[in-house]
Amino acid sequence: MESVLGQGGYTYEPIPNWGRLQPEVPLGDVAGIAVDDKDRVYLFNRSETPVVVLSQDGDLLATWGQGIFTNPHGASIGPDQCIYLTDNFDHTVRKFTLEGRLLLEIGTSGISSGFMSGKPFCKCTHSAVSPSGDIYVSDGYQNACIHKFDPNGQLLKSWGSSGAGPGEFNLPHNICCDDDGWVYVADRENSRVQIFDAEGRFETQINNMHRPSGLAITSGNCPNCIVGELASYLEVNRDFPNLGPFVSVLDQQSQMLSRLDAGRGPGLSPGQFISPHSIAYDRKGDLYVGDVVDADWCDIMRDAEKPENPRRFQKLKRLSP
pLDDT, tens digit, 9 for 90 and up, residues 159-195: 999 999 999 999 999 999 999 999 999 999 999 999 9
State the pLDDT confidence band at 307, using cuts at 50, 70 and 90: low
Q: Which residues of 213-243 are buried (b: 16+ CB within 10 A; e: fewer)?
A: bbbbbeeeeebbbbbbbbbbeeeeeeeeeeb
State the pLDDT confidence band at 61, using cuts at 50, 70 and 90: very high
**Burial tier of 32 (Cβ tally within 10 Å: 0-12, 13-18, 19+):** buried
- pLDDT value, residue 255: 98
Task: Find the mean pLDDT for residues 262-291.
Answer: 92
What are the boundaries of each domain within the chain?
5-318
% of the chain exceeding 90 in pLDDT? 81
Among 91, 52, 53, which residue's Cα sits nearest to residue 69? 91
pLDDT digits (tens, 9 = 90+) for 1-53: 458 999 999 999 999 989 978 888 889 999 999 999 999 999 999 999 999 99
Pairing of strands 161-162, 168-169: parallel
**What residue spans of the chain are helical by DSSP H?**
294-300
Looking at the DSSP bridge assignments, the partners of residue 41 are 35, 54
pLDDT digits (tens, 9 = 90+) for 120-155: 999 999 999 999 999 999 998 999 999 999 999 999
pLDDT over 80 at 315, yes or no: yes
Higher per-residue confidence, 136 vs 240: 136
- pLDDT value, residue 75: 98
State the pLDDT confidence band at 294, using cuts at 50, 70 and 90: low
Give the long-range contacts of residues 196-201, CB within 8 A, separation 24 or more: 196/146, 196/159, 196/167, 198/130, 198/132, 198/134, 198/148, 199/157, 200/146, 200/148, 200/157, 200/159, 200/160, 200/167
Average per-residue pLDDT for the chain: 93
Query: How far is 202 from 62, CA to CA, in rounded Å?
Result: 40
Full-model pTM? 0.95
Return the CATH fold of 5-318.
Neuraminidase (2.120.10)
- pLDDT value, residue 1: 44
- pLDDT value, residue 306: 60
Query: How far is 196 from 173, CA to CA, in rounded Å?
Result: 15
Query: How far is 85 from 31, CA to CA, in rounded Å?
Result: 10
State the pLDDT confidence band at 105, using cuts at 50, 70 and 90: very high
Task: Write down the number of H helices and E strands in the chain.
Answer: 1, 27
- pLDDT value, residue 241: 87
Query: How far is 310 from 308, CA to CA, in rounded Å?
Result: 6
% of the chain exceeding 70 in pLDDT? 94
State the pLDDT confidence band at 300, using cuts at 50, 70 and 90: low
